[in-house]
Structure 1
Amino acid sequence: MPEFIPLISEQEIQTRIKEIGNEIAMDYKEKDLVLVGILKGSFIFLSDLTRHISIDHEIDFMGASSYEGTSTTGQIVFTKQPDLELKNRDILLVEDIVDTGRTLLKIIEFVNLLNPRSVKICSLINKKERRQVHIDVAYSCFSLEKGFIVGYGLDYDERYRNLPAIYDLKL
């Protein structure tokens, strides 16, 4: 039976997302902002974040995966490409967690091929325990050093995304 150890409460998440949304709105006030959610994990975070960004912006999605269970396969598979034109636009990639950084690095390389004006990262969780490449996370709600976390969009084999808070999963 899995054990769920509480790490970040639902209220803490909502408070921090509101702060980050306000910061993004100020930073992108005069820009052509497109939020690009990285599926599947970012969808809950993105839906709350977009409501706290008071400036006009568009939303799109990309899909990429490299995980099986609790470990990365080392193979990055793109499951969805953006639908919007991203050329000369200011792209904010919205990610649930930045972990090893390898998948996100491939996503950034792909998006840069579309000639955006800028590309930055917004992450719910910036986790450095297993970081393998340098990733500049411009906006981060929370930083964690270790643990396998689930809830609020984060999953273990597609389960536990629906939990309203963030937990350390012990199998």
Structure 2
Amino acid sequence: MMSHNERMKITINHKQFERIIDYSQIKKRIRLIGIQLNLAYENQHPIFIGVLNGCFMVMADLMKQIHIASEISFIKLSSYEGTARRDRVSELIGLDHNLEGRDVIVVEDIVDTGHSLKHTLDAIYAQNPASVAVCTLLLKPNALQHTFDNIAYVGFEIDNEFVVGYGLDYQGLGRTLPDIYREIPPGP
């Protein structure tokens, strides 16, 4: 259940969220990242790999800015269900391209702890690509538990807060919001 009010706050399943990044800012950042990618990969033929479910909005807007020869694929991570630790990732679903010798650009909606990104990269590196760069709309530098030297394109760095919108969800809701909202902690 979702509801809006006038001050750009929303409620999803009894949690309050406030807007922190609006869609016009997101579009500007993605346009700039697209320009950078077009230049960096001008004479290559990269494959963009989107990590579902969250990346679908970023991927759609980003690919509208890409004017070089490229391919697109999507993967999904399935986490172990029923365990207390949700940071254990079981497998990558849908990696159906041969990545050997390819320039790969991984597209994420958000990198927080980095557990799922590390799992994704391990699976990609196992195929011996020529290069791997990570493009993420949101990065939580204070939440990272892994070190990455290839997060090359970042839309926005945010604090270690829970966010929804623009592909990100809370209990399945909020993914279709065009803006990004952060959770407002409950009052005392």
TM-score of the pair, normalised by structure 2:
0.84
Question: Which structure features the higher share of strand residues?
Answer: 1
**Equivalent residue of 1:19, what SS?**
helix
- Work out whether 1:92 is the aligned partner of 2:116: no
Residue in structure 1 matched with residue 95 of structure 2 by the alignment: 82
Q: Which amino acid aligns with 1:36?
A: I
Q: Residue 68 of structure 2 aligns with which residue?
A: 55
Give the structure 2 partner of residue 31 of structure 1.
44
Unmatched 5+ residue regions in structure 1? none
Matches within 5 A, 1:9-28: 9-28=22-41
Query: How far apart, in 2, do the equivalents of 1:98 and 1:72 lie?
Result: 18
Match among 127, 130, 152 for residue 138 of structure 1: 152
- Structure 2 residue runs without a partner (length 5+): 1-13
Kindly report structure 1 stretches of 4+ aligned residues shifted beyond 2 Å: 65-68
TM-superposition CA deviations, 1:67-120 (whole Å, max 9, x none)? 98xx96121032513122211110000000010011101110110111111111
Q: Is the 8 A contact 2:44 2:69 kept in 1?
A: no
SS of equivalent residue, structure 2 residue 29 = helix
Provide the C-alpha distance between the structure 1 equivalents of 2:132 and 2:154, rounded to a whole number of angstroms: 15
SS of the equivalent of 1:135 reads coil
1:23-59 deviation digits (Å, cap 9, x = unpaired): 0010001112000000110011001101101111100
Which residue does the alignment assign to 2:180? 166
Question: In the aligned structure 2, how far is the partner of 1:67 from the partner of 1:122?
Answer: 25
Q: Is the 8 A contact 2:92 2:120 kept in 1?
A: no
C-alpha contact 2:45 2:68 (8 A) present in aligned 1 = no
Matched residues, number:
169
Q: For residue 65 of structure 1, report the CA deviation from its aligned partner.
A: 4.5
Q: 1:82 to 1:6 in 2, by over 3 A?
A: same
Q: Which TM-score applies when normalising by structure 1?
A: 0.92
Deviation for aligned residue 1:66 = 4.5
SS of equivalent to 1:41: coil
Q: Report percent identity of matched pairs.
A: 36
C-alpha distance in 1 between matches for 2:72 and 2:24 = 25
Computing the radius of gyration from Cα coordinates, the structure with the larger value is: 2
Q: Corresponding residue for 2:162?
A: 148
Give the distance between the partners of 1:67 and 1:143, measured in 2 at CA: 28
**Counterpart in 1 of 2:5?**
none
